[in-house]
Structure 1
Amino acid sequence: MKRLLAALLATGFFTGPGWAQDGGVWLQVEALPTLNRAENRARAYAGRFDAVSGYALDGGWYGIALGPYDSAEARRLLSQLKAQGAIPGDAFLADGAQYRGRFWPVGARGDAEGAQAATSAQTQEQTPAAAPARPEAPAEPADAPEETLAEARASEAALDRAARERLQVALRWAGVYEAGIDGAFGAGTRAAMAEWQRQNGHEATGVLTSAQRASLLEAYDAVLDGLDLAPVRDAQAGIGIEMPTALVARDEVRPPFVTYAPSGDLPVQVLLISQPGDARRLAGLYEIMQTLEIVPPEGARGLDARSFVIEGADETRATHVEATLEGGAIKGFALVWPAGDEARRSRVVSRMAASFESLPEVLEPGEVPADEAQSVDLVSGLQVRRPLRERAGVFVDEAGSVATTVEAIAECGDIAIDGMRGATVVMQDAGSGLALLRPASPLAPRGVATFQTGVPRIDDKIAVAGFPYGGAISVAATTFGRLADIRGPGGEEDLKRLALSAQPGDAGGPVLDMGGAVLGLLLPGDRQEGRMLPPGVALALESEAVVAALEAEGIAPQRTEARGQNTVEAVARRAGEMTALVSCWE
C-alpha cells in the first residue's frame, strides 16, 4: 500500500508535502472507544500507509485518519482505497473540526489545524494501555526538601504526553479522577491532584511535586508486584505480547490456540489466538469463543468486520478476549483471571493489549490429535459451556411457540429453543406442570402439533419424542410403549398413565398415538408429589388440558378426533418434526 501511495505522489495525485491547498481534509478510517485499541489500529495502519494520524474525538472516542489532503484529491483517494478494500467501507471525509488532542504518532503534540481545544472534562474517560513510563524528572531522595510550587510546575512541564496521561490513569486508579485520559491538565485533573494531596497529607496545591508523582505511580504499579510481567515472543503463533510469566507457562498447541496454563495455585490462563482467516472466519471464531466454559456468558462484547472484543465475568472468573483480522491472519489473546481481583486484572489486560504485536508466522489449522482426550464437548482442547439441563417441548403454532414442562425451565437465566437463546416464558402453571415459551424471534418449525381430543383406547400403542441424550443428537429420538390407563395412578382426569421407559431428556416431549396426533405432554418422572415413579411407568398431561391452556393464551391449536394407523417410521418422522430441544442456561 505504501508503494501505491508513492506512485500516486509521483503522478501528482497529491499536492505535495504541504498537502492541503484549501485547508485540507482527512480520510477518517476508524473510530475506537479506547485509547489502547486506537493506538493498536493506528500502528497497523502506519505499517501500510503514510500520513497516519490519531486524534481524540468528542464522547470519549478516538479517531484514526489519513491526511490531511487537498479536498478534490482526498475524494479520489477515498473512492480508490474503498474500491480496493484497503480501508473500511464506512470511511469518510472529515474537516478536522471534531479532532482534539493528537495521540498518534506516539509523542506527537497539538490538535488538527482548525480543531477546537478539548478539556479533560469534555471527554468521557477511557482507560489507555498502561505503557511503561517515559523518562520524567527524577524523584527526589526521601530526605530531600519538598519542591516549591514553582519548582513543581517546572518539573511537571518537562513531562511528555505519555507521562501526563499515565499520571491521569494513576489518579483514576486512586479514585480521585473521572474525566478523560488526554494528557491535558485542566480543571478536572488539577482538582484530582489536589484531592490526592489532601488524602495523603500534603498541601492541596493541585500541582504534584516530583516526589508526589513518584509516590502515586509507585502505588499504582504495586498491584503488579510478583506477576513478572515480561515480553513473550511465541514464534509458532506469530505473536509477541507481555504476559504474567510468574503465573503461566506454555502448555499445549491446538490450533487456533496456544495455551499458557497456570504454573502455580492461582487459576490464571492465557490463550494466544492465531489462524488464517477472513471476516467470515473472524465472525465464526467470535461465536465459538462465547460457547467456551472459560468465557462466562455475562459481559460486554462486540464484533465488527475487522475485530472483536468479549468480556465475561461470573463468581469464579473474569475473561477478556480480543482478536483482529489483519493481512489474512486472525491474531489475538484471551486472559482468564480469578474473580475478585479486578485491580490487577484490568492492569494486566491493558499491558497485554498495549504490547500486542503480530509477527509473520501463523498457526495453520490441523487435525485434533487422535487421543483419548477427544470429545464433542471440546473445541481445540477447551471445554464447551453446557446448559443446566436439556428437555423436550412441542411446537404448537407456526411462529415457533413451544409447550413444555415447568421443570424444564426452573431457575433458568436464559432459555433456548433449538439453540436460539432468549426465549420468554409466556405462561407456567405449577399445578399442571405446563409451561409455554415464545422464541426470541419467530421460528419456522418443520411440524406443528395436532392434538387428539377424542378418547384413546387403553393398551393402544403410543410414541414419545424427546432428547434422552440431551443436545448431543440434534433430532428428537422416539421411544414406543403403550397407553396403560386414560387416567393417572390416583384417578386424575388430567393425566394419562403410560407403560414406557422414558429418560429425563424426554420430559416435555409429545406423546403421540399411531396416527401422529398428540395425546399429551410427557411429565418428569418425579411429577407425582415428589415421588419417583417405578421403572417402566410414565405420566402425561392429557391433550385437553394443554389445549385449554393454549387457548387461554390466545393460541388456537390444531385438533383432531380421527384415529389413524401409521407405520412406526412415519410416526417417528412426524414426532421429530414437531419436537423442540429446550435448553436451560444459567
Structure 2
Amino acid sequence: MTRLTETIFATCSALLLSAAALQAQQSWVQVEAQPTLADAEGRARSYAEAFPNVAGFRLGTSWYAVVVGPYADDSAAASELSAFRRQGLVPSDAYVTDGERFGRRFFPVGAAPIAPVSEEAVDDAVEEATGTEPAAEPEAEAPEETVAEARASERRLNGEERRLLQEALKWQGHYDGAIDGAVGPNTRRAMSSWQRAEGRPDTGVLTSAQRTELVGTFREDLSRIGMAQIVDDKAGIEIIMPAGLVEFEEVNPPFVHYGSTGDSGVRVLLISQSGDEGTLFGLYDIMQTLEIVPQDGPRERSRTSFTLEGANEELESYTYAALSGGAVKGFTLIWPPEDADAMDRIRQTMRESFTPVSGVILPDTAGEAGGMDQASDLLSGLEVRRPARSRTGFFVGDDGAVLTTLDAVENCERISLGTSADATITARDTALGLALLAPETRLAPIRTAALEAEVPRLGSEVAVAGFSYEDILDAPVMTFGTLSDVRGLGGEEALRRLDMETLPGDSGGPVLDQRGAVVGMLLPASDDADRRLPTDVSLAAGADALAAFLGENGITVESAGNGPALAAEDLTARAADMTTLVSCWN
C-alpha cells in the first residue's frame, strides 16, 4: 500500500466511522424489514405518503429496514411509536432501534444523509488527497423478484393498498370487477393483462417494482386530469369529472357548459331539464343534430335513458341521459381523438359516479338571455350540424320508398329523409337524373304519390311542392306556375317545361296539377356555364318517364283518377303528406 493510498484509506475510514457513530447515537422507529431491495423500496414509498421522515437502510447482507426518524433519544421515538400504533399506522411488531445495524441508505433516493458526514464529504477527501475526481459508481439495479417473492410481498399489502392496486388496474382498462381489495381470479387476470400490455413476463403476480410503476402512473394521471367530485347546484348533478381539464363556462339551458382549460380540448356538458319520456326522446333526437355528437358511433335508447357515442377525425364524445324524478338529467364528455384511452376511463368514472340531485332542475330561463347567441345554427350555445345540401323528394311506396333527383344524393356519406331517417340509393337513372331511395328503417308515409296517366293540358296551372329553403323550414313551400310545354327545349318527350321560378331546394319535388295528381318531378337547373335558362323557366321529368323508371325497379305507383280541382289549402295539405326533405351529409 503506497503512502497516498494509506492517506486516502485513513481519511475515508475516519469519515465513515464518524458517520456511523453519529447515526448510531440517534433513535429510530423500525416499522418493517424486507428481504429484497425492491420490496423495501415499495414499502418505503407507501409509508412516505403517511410520514414525512421515512428512510431505508440496508441490514447486513440480505435484509432492508424501513424506518421513521431520527429522534433525539429512545424516549422520543417510543412516544411516537405509541401514537403510531394507536392510529393503526404501523404494524404491531414495529420497535425502537438505535440504528447500530444500519448500513448503506437506499431511501429516499438522492436525499441528504441524516448523519452530518456525507458521502460527498468522502469524495471531497479523495479528491483533495489525489487531485482527481473519483469515478461515479454505477447505480445498482434492483434485482427482479421471483414469483414466490412477488407473492410474499403481495401478501404483506394491506386492504387499502390492494384496493389502490385494483383501482390502478381498472383505470388502465385491465380490471372490471369490484374494488374490494380481494386478490381473486379477476384481479389475477387483470395483472396478467397489464403485464402483457407492458411487455413483461405474464405471471399474473406483479412484482414490487411493477406495482410501484402501475400505481405511480395511476397517480400521475389523476394528478394531471384532476378527477374530483363536483356538485353542480344549478343542474342538480353530483359527478366525478376531470376538473383539471375543464372549468365552468356558462349556463345555457338545458346545458351547463364546462369549457377546456389550456389546450386540453376536453369539454363537459351537464344536462338538466324538467320533462318526461317525450322530453327524453326529443333530447335524443336533438343531440344527434349537434356537431359535438359525430354521426359515426353506437346509439342506445330505452324508455328511461339513452347513450350516444360518436367519433370523427376532430373529436369524440359520449352522452348519457336518463329520467329522474320528473326531470331529464345527464352529461356529455367531449375530447380529442388522441386522448381516447384516458377519456374512456374518465367517461366510465363519470357514468358510475353520476348522481342526480332530487328537486334541483335547471330552469328554462337560466343564464342571461341577452348574452345568448340566437343564430339559427346554434342550439343552447352549441353548433348544429348542417347537411351539405338539402333537396326534396316524395313517397312512392308504402314502405317509405322515395323518388328524388340524383343531383340531391350523389356522392353523399349519408342520406337522410325528414329529420332523422337514414336512406340508401337503390336505383339510378343517369340520363334523366332520377334516384330511388329506400329508408334503412321502414316508414309509414301518410300519402304516396298518384301519377297522372294522361298527358297534361298545355297552359294548365301546376304547382311544385318543395323545400325551397332547404332544411330551414319544416314543411314544403308551394310554388305555382303553368305548364308551358309537354316537351323539353330540345324536343325531349320525357321532359315537361314549366313557367315558374324555383329555388335549388325545390328540385326533386312533385309537380302537381289542380287535382293533386303528380304530372312530373322538378329537375335541378342546368349547370352548363355556356347556356343558362331564364329564371322563370324550369324543367321536370314527366309522369310517364317516372312510372317507367319505378316499374323497372319493382314499384308500381297508383294512377290518379278523375276528380275535382282542390282548393289551394287542400292541395297544399295533400302535397305536404307525400313530400319529404332529402338531405346529403358529408
Aligned residue identity for 2:238: G
Identify which of 220, 227, 230 aligns with 2:228.
230
Of 187-196 and 147-156, deviating more is 187-196
CA shift, 1:424, in A, is 3.5
Equivalent residues in 2 for 1:194-343, closer than 5 Å: 195=196, 199=199, 206-220=204-218, 222=220, 226-343=224-341
Q: Contact between 2:273 and 2:364, CA under 8 Å: does it hold in 1?
A: no
Q: Contact between 2:236 and 2:361, CA under 8 Å: does it hold in 1?
A: yes
1:409 corresponds to which residue?
409
CA shift, 1:296, in A, is 1.4
Q: Distance in 1 between matches of 2:475 and 2:530?
A: 30
Give ranges in structure 1 of 5+ residues lacking alignment.
1-134
Deviations 1:428-454 (A, max 9, x none): 222211111233455443433232333
Q: Distance in 2 between matches of 1:151 and 1:296?
A: 50
Deviations 1:137-195 (A, max 9, x none): 9x97667844743442233122545334335436x65xxx6997885257745644664
2:480 corresponds to which residue?
480
1:467 corresponds to which residue?
467
CA shift, 1:328, in A, is 4.4
Q: Contact between 1:236 and 1:361, CA under 8 Å: does it hold in 2?
A: no
Q: Contact between 1:140 and 1:211, CA under 8 Å: does it hold in 2?
A: no
CA shift, 1:481, in A, is 1.8
Q: Contact between 1:390 and 1:584, CA under 8 Å: does it hold in 2?
A: yes
1:419 corresponds to which residue?
419
CA shift, 1:507, in A, is 0.6
Identity of aligned residues (%): 42
**Is the partner of 2:345 in helix, strand or coil?**
helix
Of 489-498 and 373-382, deviating more is 373-382
Of 215-224 and 152-161, deviating more is 215-224
Aligned residue identity for 1:313: A
Q: Distance in 2 between matches of 1:178 and 1:261?
A: 30
1:6 corresponds to which residue?
none
Q: Contact between 1:136 and 1:159, CA under 8 Å: does it hold in 2?
A: no
How many residues of Structure 1 are paired with residues of Structure 2 in the alignment? 444
Normalising by the residue count of structure 1, what TM-score does the alignment of the two structures yield? 0.66
CA shift, 1:566, in A, is 5.0
Aligned residue identity for 1:271: L
Q: Distance in 2 between matches of 1:155 and 1:527?
A: 78
Q: Contact between 2:425 and 2:438, CA under 8 Å: does it hold in 1?
A: yes
Of 525-534 and 362-371, deviating more is 525-534
Q: Contact between 1:462 and 1:480, CA under 8 Å: does it hold in 2?
A: yes
**Is the partner of 1:551 in helix, strand or coil?**
helix
Q: Distance in 1 between matches of 2:167 and 2:400?
A: 54
- The structure-2 alpha-carbon separation of the partners of 1:159 and 1:410, relative to structure 1 and needing over 3 Å to count, comes to farther
1:381 corresponds to which residue?
381
- The structure-2 alpha-carbon separation of the partners of 1:185 and 1:295, relative to structure 1 and needing over 3 Å to count, comes to same
2:164 corresponds to which residue?
163
CA shift, 1:477, in A, is 1.0
Alignment of 1:550 onto 2:550: yes
Deviations 1:275-311 (A, max 9, x none): 3445554444333333322111221232345443221
CA shift, 1:404, in A, is 0.9
CA shift, 1:379, in A, is 3.7
CA shift, 1:274, in A, is 2.5
**Is the partner of 1:386 in helix, strand or coil?**
coil
**Is the partner of 1:454 in helix, strand or coil?**
coil
Q: Contact between 1:403 and 1:436, CA under 8 Å: does it hold in 2?
A: yes
- The structure-2 alpha-carbon separation of the partners of 1:496 and 1:299, relative to structure 1 and needing over 3 Å to count, comes to same
1:517 corresponds to which residue?
517
- The structure-2 alpha-carbon separation of the partners of 1:423 and 1:262, relative to structure 1 and needing over 3 Å to count, comes to same
Q: Contact between 1:274 and 1:332, CA under 8 Å: does it hold in 2?
A: yes
Equivalent residues in 2 for 1:97-176, closer than 5 Å: 145-146=142-143, 148-149=145-146, 150-157=148-155, 158=157, 160=159, 162-169=163-170
Aligned residue identity for 1:273: I
**Is the partner of 1:544 in helix, strand or coil?**
helix
2:364 corresponds to which residue?
366
Aligned residue identity for 1:469: Y
- The structure-2 alpha-carbon separation of the partners of 1:192 and 1:295, relative to structure 1 and needing over 3 Å to count, comes to closer
**Is the partner of 1:264 in helix, strand or coil?**
coil
RMSD: 3.6
- The structure-2 alpha-carbon separation of the partners of 1:341 and 1:578, relative to structure 1 and needing over 3 Å to count, comes to same
Deviations 1:433-482 (A, max 9, x none): 11112334554434332323333344333211101122333222111122
Q: Distance in 1 between matches of 2:322 and 2:530?
A: 53
Q: Distance in 2 between matches of 1:355 and 1:145?
A: 40
Deviations 1:225-244 (A, max 9, x none): 64333333322222333333
CA shift, 1:272, in A, is 1.2
Of 547-556 and 182-191, deviating more is 182-191
Q: Distance in 1 between matches of 2:373 and 2:452?
A: 48
**Is the partner of 1:516 in helix, strand or coil?**
coil
Aligned residue identity for 2:503: Q
Aligned residue identity for 2:226: D
Name the larger-Rg structure: 2
Q: Distance in 2 between matches of 1:464 and 1:271?
A: 43
Q: Distance in 1 between matches of 2:397 and 2:145?
A: 79
- The structure-2 alpha-carbon separation of the partners of 1:458 and 1:193, relative to structure 1 and needing over 3 Å to count, comes to closer
- The structure-2 alpha-carbon separation of the partners of 1:346 and 1:561, relative to structure 1 and needing over 3 Å to count, comes to closer
Q: Contact between 1:223 and 1:343, CA under 8 Å: does it hold in 2?
A: no
Q: Contact between 1:454 and 1:561, CA under 8 Å: does it hold in 2?
A: no
Q: Contact between 1:453 and 1:544, CA under 8 Å: does it hold in 2?
A: yes
- The structure-2 alpha-carbon separation of the partners of 1:256 and 1:342, relative to structure 1 and needing over 3 Å to count, comes to same
CA shift, 1:259, in A, is 0.8
Deviations 1:189-235 (A, max 9, x none): 564466467x36xx776532222211133345555664333333322
Q: Contact between 2:235 and 2:362, CA under 8 Å: does it hold in 1?
A: no
Q: Distance in 2 between matches of 1:420 and 1:353?
A: 27
- The structure-2 alpha-carbon separation of the partners of 1:405 and 1:207, relative to structure 1 and needing over 3 Å to count, comes to same
1:22 corresponds to which residue?
none
Aligned residue identity for 1:501: E
2:31 corresponds to which residue?
none
- The structure-2 alpha-carbon separation of the partners of 1:582 and 1:530, relative to structure 1 and needing over 3 Å to count, comes to farther
Q: Distance in 2 between matches of 1:166 and 1:531?
A: 71
Q: Contact between 2:169 and 2:191, CA under 8 Å: does it hold in 1?
A: no
Deviations 1:358-396 (A, max 9, x none): 445522432476546235554433333333322111222
- The structure-2 alpha-carbon separation of the partners of 1:530 and 1:464, relative to structure 1 and needing over 3 Å to count, comes to farther
Q: Distance in 2 between matches of 1:565 and 1:136?
A: 96
2:447 corresponds to which residue?
447
2:184 corresponds to which residue?
184
Q: Distance in 2 between matches of 1:388 and 1:294?
A: 17
Q: Contact between 1:250 and 1:260, CA under 8 Å: does it hold in 2?
A: yes
Q: Distance in 2 between matches of 1:381 and 1:457?
A: 53
Q: Contact between 2:476 and 2:579, CA under 8 Å: does it hold in 1?
A: yes
Aligned residue identity for 2:450: T
- The structure-2 alpha-carbon separation of the partners of 1:514 and 1:530, relative to structure 1 and needing over 3 Å to count, comes to farther
Q: Distance in 2 between matches of 1:575 and 1:193?
A: 62
Deviations 1:318-353 (A, max 9, x none): 111123444444432211112232123223323433
Of 301-310 and 183-192, deviating more is 183-192
Q: Contact between 2:464 and 2:479, CA under 8 Å: does it hold in 1?
A: yes
Q: Distance in 1 between matches of 2:351 and 2:395?
A: 47
CA shift, 1:528, in A, is 5.8
Q: Contact between 2:166 and 2:175, CA under 8 Å: does it hold in 1?
A: no
Alignment of 1:349 onto 2:347: yes
Q: Distance in 2 between matches of 1:220 and 1:266?
A: 19
| Between structures 1 and 2, the one with greater helix share | 2
Alignment of 1:581 onto 2:581: yes
